[in-house]
Chain A
Amino acid sequence: MKRNYIQQAWLVIVLACLFGAALAAVHAGLGPRIAQNRLNDTLSQIPTLVEGAARGEPLEIGGRIVYRAVDGEGAAAGWVVPAGGQGFADRIELLIGLDREAAQITGLYILQQNETPGLGNRVTEPEWRARFAGQSALAPLTVVKGRAGGAGEVEAVTGATVSSQSVVGIVNEAVARFRRERPEGAP
């Protein structure tokens, strides 16, 4: 009986082994390139997030990767903190730029989002993201509808309050955590 099973299934077994080997080869060949693509996507944003930064150096703080932004000579220019959380439709992944003392937000970039086209996905627009630059990182930001006046206030995207609040919430949490965990006095 056992022989019979082998007779029936030998083709499947052989194919599975062959395909497995082929996939392993493909992964070995392309894996580094894919990882590099992901890293490039993040690194290419660092000069736009921190003023004067030329490139970023990955660093592990508290079990999470952050990037130390450095200028052309290798001197510290600031920090880039990756963060993520639930948006209106799906997870939002973003990068936050901070200055050297982690006291001021210098920029924001949305890596990945699935918000409603035409409304929620307008959080990726440069005009809206520019509202974060220059805000203080010492106190949490708040979302306001209509004109934002005071310090620490971010005007919501029209018709997309939930998406705006999600982004601000992610930023607040990540900035607070980074300020707690960052290496003291060694930027």
Chain B
Amino acid sequence: MAENAVTPIAPAAPPPAAASARAAPAKPAPALSVAPGPHIASGALTTRRMMLDVILAALPLLAVSVYLFRQYAVFQIAISVIGALAAERFFGWMRRRPNTLGDLSAAVTGLILGLSLPASAPWYVGVIGAFAGIGFGKAVFGGLGQNIFNPAMVGRAFVMIAFPAALGASAYVAPTLGVDAVTQATPLTAFKMMGSVAALKPLFLGMTNGSIGETSALAALIGGAYLCWRGTAAWRIPAGGILALAILAGASDLTGGSPWTFAHHLSSGAFLFGAFFIATDPVSSPLTPKGQWIFGAGFGALVLLIRAFSGYPEGVMFSVLLMNSVAPLINRWTIPTPVGGPAPERK
């Protein structure tokens, strides 16, 4: 019969890489190692070193947050980091994987999550956010390196929808937390609801209310500069974001827009914190230089769009998640031509 004439597909060979990796410790080291490219390995660019860089770069933000929110900042960050480490270990155990706490990626997820929460949030917000972020944001996709979305932002989105009372605009107004500057509504909320414009200097320095790590533009710039200098963060992403936001907000200023100028947009809310620390997550952002520009510009434009036209005062979290979802597409779209490769086709 005709359908029997079709040759059956040969059974797939066992994956050689996985098999040899598992067998490797038992065998003596081969004299000549043959492996597919890339062959350049940098001992310096390990996950652990990159994550340490992020923690170092976050120190100025931590200092500002502890100054502004006192023990509440310490509490939020501790809760989130401990929650993230516990979640990483828990899901690793469920998936029967070796302990991955040492690469510090879970600690950084917890740190970023903690910095993005309001100081008044109850204890379970950080813990559930960390478990949702590591679980739904990372473990279900196969762990670090496989995730589509930034785990910290997945966790924050989860708790923001789950506990609107603890993370809504009104949750930020809590009269008994930290120093005097943080007893009022956040600058972005105050502008959106009452139209009152904050002064630029406290916005830039961070003497305002907000999520505990986002208030100071200066601290985010210092930490961000360190990240870009070390190569841990791709500088094109924050550059693209800042340019897009400045150009779009500047254009609306020139056409007689609002009293909230482009300088206000740049230094308020979580924009710089997000641009340097969140959008630059190497797993969920594009790899190609051109793609990083596009990713950054899209991030900046979306932040402005959400701030100006949506019901939310701030849009960094949603912008990062939305751009994460198109990062694989941007990667495919902007594959660079290799040296000596075929000349690009012209139509």
Contacts and interface: CB of A to CB of B under 8 A. Distances in A.
Instruction: Please say whether the chains A and B touch (CB closer than 8 A).
Output: yes
A159 B168 contact: yes
Interface string B150-180: 0000000000000011001110000000000
A119 interface: yes
* Main SS class of interface, B: helix
Size category, A interface? under 10
A119 B169 CA distance: 12
A162 interface: yes
B199 interface: no
Contacts of B164: 118-119, 159
A145 B168 CA distance: 14
Interface string A92-133: 000000000000000000000000001100000000000000
Nearest to A161: B311
A86 interface: no
A119 B311 CA distance: 13
Contacts of A145: 193
B71 to A, nearest CB: 26
Contacts of B169: 159
B311 A162 contact: yes
Nearest to A119: B164
Interface in B287-320: 311
Contacts of A158: 165, 168, 170
Contacts of A119: 164
Nearest to B169: A159
Interface in B58-108: none
A161 B311 CA distance: 9
Contact of B170 (A118, A159, A162): A159
Interface residues of B, number: 7
Contacts of B170: 158-159
A26 to B, nearest CB: 42
Contacts of A162: 311
A158 to B, nearest CB: 5
Interface string A136-156: 000000000100000000000
A159 B193 CA distance: 11
Nearest to B193: A145
Contacts of A161: 311
A39 B156 CA distance: 45
Contacts of B193: 145
Contacts of B311: 161-162
Nearest to A118: B164
B233 to A, nearest CB: 34
Contacts of B165: 118, 158-159
A159 B165 CA distance: 8
Interface in B125-143: none
A161 B313 CA distance: 13
Contacts of A118: 164-165
Interface string A153-170: 000001101100000000
Contacts of A159: 164-165, 168-170
A41 to B, nearest CB: 29
A158 B173 CA distance: 12
Interface in B201-223: none
A38 B170 CA distance: 38
Interface string A64-81: 000000000000000000
Nearest to A145: B193
Interface string B235-279: 000000000000000000000000000000000000000000000
A76 B294 CA distance: 69
Nearest to A116: B164
A84 to B, nearest CB: 23
A25 B170 CA distance: 55
Interface string A1-19: 0000000000000000000
A44 B158 CA distance: 40
Which of B164, B165, B169 counts the most chain A CB atoms within 10 A?
A: B164
Nearest to B162: A118
A162 B170 CA distance: 16
A57 B169 CA distance: 45
Nearest to A162: B311
B19 to A, nearest CB: 51
A175 B52 CA distance: 64
Nearest to A88: B311
B166 to A, nearest CB: 11
Interface in B16-51: none
14 contacts: A118-B164, A118-B165, A119-B164, A145-B193, A158-B165, A158-B168, A158-B170, A159-B164, A159-B165, A159-B168, A159-B169, A159-B170, A161-B311, A162-B311
Interface of A: 118-119, 145, 158-159, 161-162
Given A119-B164, A159-B169, A162-B311, 9 more contacts: A118-B164, A118-B165, A145-B193, A158-B165, A158-B170, A159-B164, A159-B168, A159-B170, A161-B311
